Amino acid sequence: MDALDKLGISWQLLLSQIVNFGLLMIILQQLLYKPVLNMLEQRRQRIAEGLEQADKASHAAAEAEAEKQGILEEARREAQEVRAQATRDAERIAQDVRSRADQEAQEIRMKAQADAEAQTAAVMADARKQIADLAIAATEQILGRELANRDEQERFVADYLAQQNGSGS
Amino acid sequence: MFKNLLQAFVLNARIRNATIGVIALLGLSVVPFFNAPPPHVELAAEALLEHGPKWFTNGLLTTILVDLIIILMAVFAVSRMKEIPGAWQNIVEMLVEGMWNLTQSIAGHGSANSRKFFPWVITIFIFVLVSNYIGLLPGFGSIGIYHSGAESHAQGALDNQLAMAGAETIAVAAAAEEGKPVLVPLFRSPSADLNMTLALALISVFMTQFFGVQALGIRYFTKFFKNPFKDGMGAVVGFFELIAEISKIISFSFRLFGNIFAGEVVLLVMAFLVTFLLPSIFYGLELFIGFIQALVFMLLTLAFFTMATVSHDDHH
């Protein structure tokens, strides 16, 4: 034991060091290791959560973007359709309007022609009557007397004119 | 070449001042007034009070100091613990996390063993590291109480022997010191006190056996004791294993003690030989050794713990 004594080893001091170490370990376990490791774990979880949320958010953003694109695409397609429809309708209406206008123009023209013909016929008839009257009057003057059978004369002239008119036309 | 140096010396104020400073310090080292006292090398921790209890040694006092420093640092780091750490909390977290990862890398990731071993090995690391470094503080070995020196004859002789191994000057100095009042330093690094290193070694080796038995039951001891009639070679190997296990206590305790104690002696001797500049180089070395020894003690303990929990029958 002399050698141990010279080295300064004594069982009391040895025991005190062992107890000291044990106490220090227990104190640090409660005071340092547990809280620090808990904190590290907590922080790790927090970061993992944050990353997950960021991931989710970016995922949602991508989804929203895709949805937006879809909606835009559909809207564009619908607009295209509407426009095409409108163009088609407009063309059809234009066609209608044009054809109706054509038709009306035709009608108006035909009516005008008919009127003109009717008028011509009336004028002609009037002219013929006047010519007949003039012819009789002229004849009466030439003869110097009134024609006895006036009605028959008139019919005769009219027949002649009608004959002339018929062959002349 | 010489001309260039001379030119630089004259022109560059920085180089000039540094050179003058170095020469002045080395010169001062020779002046008797600035000489460090001859190193007083004491192998054992000494009782602080000449007529007081023998157990109240400077090593014990410093151990308590080390405990207080560690606990204060822990309290300071943890008391205002935040999700976003401050500087000190960050450093402490780095240490704890680093040790935790190291423990896991050796004892298995997320294993129950890691959680069991962790408090032991990290406490060893922190305690040994602070013990090693505290001995490097100024005042350790130089502030103390003078004892009359009557009772320290045996110690004086031992001093002499130790000093003989070193240098003649120290032996002379130690011899001259005998009979004079002896300065007993107030503080002594716990790592330079065999009681502390031996206590840690005993804890380490005892806990190795404890964890071994906890993991493998009575089967753990088949590592040491085998039936010599069935397995002659195994029995011999087991015997050597037993001796190795016991010698771990000695290697653990004297490795740490030797490194730190020798480091302090080296610093003393260097300060005695050249008072200024020279010791600073060795301070750097001692900082390195202090860290390495703490790490070595911790890693060896961890490795032994882990090895003890692995069954050796698995190889068959």
pLDDT in tens, B152-165: 444 444 454 444 44
**ipTM of the complex as predicted:** 0.82
| Residues B8, B15: Cα–Cα separation, whole Å | 7
Six-digit token string for B265: 């002696």
Pick the more confident residue, B148 or A117.
A117
Strand partners, B145: B184
Residue type, A3: A
Partner A contacted by B65 (CB < 8 A): no
pLDDT of residue B36: 65
Contact A9 B77 (CB under 8 A): no
Q: Minimum mean pLDDT among A137-151, B49-63, B252-266: which range?
A: A137-151
Provide, as residue numbers in chain A, all residues whose Cβ is less than 8 Å from the Cβ of B75.
Answer: 31
pLDDT of residue B233: 87
Q: pLDDT band at residue B169, thresholds of 50, 70 and 90? A: very low
Q: Please state, in angstroms and as integers, the Cα–Cα distance from residue A147 to each residue in A130, A133, A152, A162, B77, following that order.
A: 17, 12, 10, 22, 156
Closest by alpha carbon to A22, among B127, B16, B187? Answer: B127
| Residues A104, A112: Cα–Cα separation, whole Å | 12
- Name the phi and psi angles at A17, rounded to 5: -65, -40
| Residues B53, B50: Cα–Cα separation, whole Å | 8
Q: pLDDT band at residue B166, thresholds of 50, 70 and 90? A: very low
Pick the more confident residue, A79 or B150.
A79
Residue B119 in any domain: the answer is: yes
Provide, as residue numbers in chain A, all residues whose Cβ is less than 8 Å from the Cβ of B83.
Answer: 39, 42-43, 46
Six-digit token string for A162: 């009608």
Q: pLDDT band at residue B31, thresholds of 50, 70 and 90? A: confident
Residue B8 in any domain: the answer is: no
| Residues B8, B23: Cα–Cα separation, whole Å | 17
Q: pLDDT band at residue B308, thresholds of 50, 70 and 90? A: very high
Residue B2 in any domain: the answer is: no
Q: Please state, in angstroms and as integers, the Cα–Cα distance from residue A34 to each residue in A26, A27, A40, B136, B166, following that order.
A: 11, 10, 10, 30, 47
* Cα nearest neighbour of B64 on chain A: A20
Mean of the pLDDT values across residues A112-137? 89
Six-digit token string for B213: 């038995």
Q: pLDDT band at residue B300, thresholds of 50, 70 and 90? A: very high
| Residues A58, A162: Cα–Cα separation, whole Å | 103
Give me the domain span that covers residue B243: 35-315
| Residues B10, B20: Cα–Cα separation, whole Å | 12
Instruction: Report how many domains make up chain B.
Output: 1
Average pLDDT, chain A: 89
pLDDT of residue B285: 93
Partner A contacted by B198 (CB < 8 A): yes
Six-digit token string for A112: 């005008």
Residue B246 in any domain: the answer is: yes
Strand partners, B184: B145
| Residues B173, B272: Cα–Cα separation, whole Å | 11
Q: How confident is the model over B207-218, as pLDDT tens digits?
A: 999 999 999 988
Q: pLDDT band at residue A6, thresholds of 50, 70 and 90? A: confident
| Residues A32, A57: Cα–Cα separation, whole Å | 37
pLDDT of residue B154: 46
User: Coil, strand or helix: which one is A20?
Assistant: helix
Tell me: pLDDT of A119 over 80: yes
| Residues B78, A60: Cα–Cα separation, whole Å | 39
Q: pLDDT band at residue B145, thresholds of 50, 70 and 90? A: confident
Partner A contacted by B68 (CB < 8 A): no
Residue B68 in any domain: the answer is: yes
pLDDT of residue B160: 47
Q: Please state, in angstroms and as integers, the Cα–Cα distance from residue B136 to each residue in A48, B40, B62, B230, following that order.
A: 43, 16, 12, 55
pLDDT of residue B165: 45
pLDDT of residue B37: 66
Pick the more confident residue, B301 or A12.
B301
Contact B57 A8 (CB under 8 A): yes
Rounded (5°) CA angle A51-A53-A59:
105
Provide, as residue numbers in chain A, all residues whose Cβ is less than 8 Å from the Cβ of B195.
Answer: 8-10, 13-14, 16-17
Pick the more confident residue, A47 or B161.
A47
B78 vs A13, A31, A40: nearest CB: A31
Contact A9 B194 (CB under 8 A): yes
Token pair 């059809």 is at which residue? A92
Residue B25 in any domain: the answer is: no
Residue B23 in any domain: the answer is: no
Provide, as residue numbers in chain A, all residues whose Cβ is less than 8 Å from the Cβ of B48.
Answer: none
Residue B296 in any domain: the answer is: yes
B279-286: which pairs have CB atoms within 8 A and are 24 or more residues apart? B283/B136, B286/B136
A37 vs B46, B100, B127: nearest CB: B100
User: Coil, strand or helix: which one is B272?
Assistant: helix
> CA Rg, chain B, in Å?
25
